[in-house]
Chain A
Amino acid sequence: MGSHRDLPAGMVNHIFTNSGISSFTEFVGSYAPDLLPGRNETLAAPVGDRIPHATTIVAATCAGGVVVAGDRRATSGNIISQRDMEKVFRTDDYSCIGIAGAASTGIEMARLYRVELEHYEKMEGRTLSVVGKANRLATMIRGNLGMAMQGLVVVPLFAAYDPDIDGGRIFGYDVGGGPYEQYHYYSIGSGSLFARGSLKKLYREDAPPEEVVLALINALYDAADDDSATGGPDVTRKIWPVVAQITADGFHRLSDEEVGARVQTVLEGRMSSPDGPIAPLR
């Protein structure tokens, strides 16, 4: 040791020196940069197809909040590498992110982002604003740009309850960052085009959360119908999508029983009408 001699009297560790910013990532970057996901590494060859990728996430606002749902499939090329992956993560009491793209990098980003939000909250004694949270995530995605170019692309979706408008807000990103605020509904991942098309017809403004959950499960079903990388409900193994709703009461992940019942409703409807609910023509 002996390095503490360079520090202000009595300080044995850089942990006690104030770096002037309440960001966890910035602090780790100066204190122990090796702990952060590699930013300057280069891969010998792009790994795009060989590592597991997470796929479709859908989100839509509801009365007084927002609902987010994600399918459970991860794929490496044509292989299904995991059937029960979770891609929607609670990041604090009023926000969550869903990840699409390289699963490993995405999970790590979600974990780091959760610490980032909590760290700020504890250091400052206040919660970041919703826009502050969204911007912070953009910076983290941009930090991953080098790896994204090598095939480790992560594009999350951020959803939060905003007490100022007493409603939900959704933010999208691209590999370079963002954020791009999205209104009403949004989807990311390989099945997102089909999911968005489905939501376009099923979304109702200010619908109660229960109905929005149904619309999202339908959207995921449609995505799985047309996109091989998106998993549909696994009836035999009872693996249902992850569904989370965020309202003034905070983040609530629906239990398997709750989601299972909704999935059952959707499946029964599809038995007679395989393409799902039909929106009125006029």
Chain B
Amino acid sequence: MSIPFGYVSPEQQMRDKADYARKGIARGRSVVVLQYEHGILFVAPNPSRALHKISEIYDRIGFAAVGRYNEFEALRLGGIRYADINGYNYARDDVTARGLANLYAQNLGQIFTESPKPFEVELVVAEVGDSSDEDHIYRLTFDGSVFDETGLVAMGGQAEAVAGRLKERYRDGLPLAEALEAALFALTEPGGERFPAGQLEVAVLDRNRPHRKFQRLNGPKLERLLAAGPAPAAPSKSGRAGKAGGPDAPPTAPEGDLDTGSDS
């Protein structure tokens, strides 16, 4: 039996692609998504103010991604187009995270099998419902698999270790400050230093907000939340938060409330 030179079995090809994608995704930092008292919280260590890992897709739907920026940005923009076109064509309530997850799964699956280079991304598509039972969190991997998650998700970087630490602190119905504290505990390596507010990208899907549920938390608002968490370093942090929330705090920072919805 002769095997042509350069032949690679499909099994080997898929394994190679999967290894390649996994390595790429593990290089970055983790992102965590978890349910809290009034909705869903997204936390990503991200020093960039311009390149977002977390984004709004539609009224009730948020998006978080790890991996290569240009790849998940293309997916994010496609998702917004999908949501807007369906919401315009039918009704705003007819846009669901499930439909969006299916679209992503189809696209990622196709890329994984047909393209020589798979996408090095992992995504979360989350939808906040009227109660926590109606929340949906879908995790999508580079090969187009969809996982229906409950409670919490950690992806990218040392995802398993982060998820393990997050499970230690997580329980149902955590208040926002405690949920954020749990997320930061999980994202910080044991013995490592906490990320300061400026290095964090934080957003919520708050079911109590009118119209659009997505809201970014940054600047003084985030500082206050960080200070409110039951961290041992609370006293020093609250001092800083007091300063940051002072009179010179801009009402509409470039990344501030104007960009994401009305001030709550």
Interface of A toward B, CB cutoff 8 Å: 4, 9-13, 15-16, 18, 24, 27-28, 31-32, 35, 90, 93-94, 111-112, 115, 118-119, 121-123, 125-127, 163, 248-251
Contact = CB atoms under 8 A, between A and B. Distances in A.
A9 B89 contact: no
Nearest to B59: A118
Nearest to B52: A125
Interface in B83-132: 84-85, 87-89, 103, 106-107, 110-112, 114-116, 119
B261 interface: yes
A39 B85 CA distance: 18
B57 A122 contact: yes
A80 B106 CA distance: 50
Nearest to B89: A35
Contacts of A94: 258
Contacts of A35: 85, 88-89
Nearest to B118: A10
B56 A122 contact: yes
A67 to B, nearest CB: 17
Interface in B56-92: 56-57, 74-75, 77-78, 80-82, 84-85, 87-89
B251 interface: yes
A168 B52 CA distance: 31
Contacts of A13: 78, 103, 107
B84 A118 contact: yes
Contacts of B107: 10-13, 16
A31 B85 contact: yes
A90 B75 CA distance: 29
B148 interface: no
Contacts, number: 87
Given A119-B80, A122-B57, A250 B263 contact: yes
Interface residues on B, range: 35 or more
B19 interface: no
A27 B81 contact: yes
A32 B259 CA distance: 28
B258 A127 contact: yes
Contacts of A115: 84, 87-88
A135 B32 CA distance: 40
Contacts of A4: 110
Secondary structure type dominating chain B contacts: helix
A48 B81 CA distance: 35
Contacts of B263: 249-250
B150 interface: no
B252 A163 contact: yes
Contacts of A125: 50, 52, 55, 259
Contact of A251 (B74, B115, B262): B262
Contact of A15 (B55, B78, B87, B251): B78
Nearest to B116: A9
Interface in B223-264: 251-252, 254, 258-259, 261-263
A118 B56 CA distance: 10
Given A111-B88, A122-B56, A127 B259 contact: yes
B259 A28 contact: no
30 contacts: A4-B110, A9-B114, A9-B115, A9-B116, A10-B110, A11-B107, A11-B110, A11-B111, A12-B110, A13-B103, A15-B78, A15-B81, A15-B85, A16-B77, A24-B85, A27-B81, A28-B88, A31-B81, A35-B85, A115-B87, A115-B88, A118-B212, A119-B81, A119-B84, A122-B84, A126-B254, A127-B258, A163-B251, A248-B251, A251-B262
Contacts of A248: 251
A122 B80 contact: yes
A122 B81 CA distance: 10
Nearest to B106: A12
B262 A16 contact: no
A167 B186 CA distance: 44
B109 to A, nearest CB: 9
B78 A10 contact: no
A11 B254 CA distance: 33
Contacts of B262: 93, 249-251
B59 to A, nearest CB: 9
Nearest to B264: A250
Contacts of A18: 74, 77
A122 B89 contact: no
A190 to B, nearest CB: 29
A243 B192 CA distance: 54
Contacts of A111: 88
B84 A9 contact: no
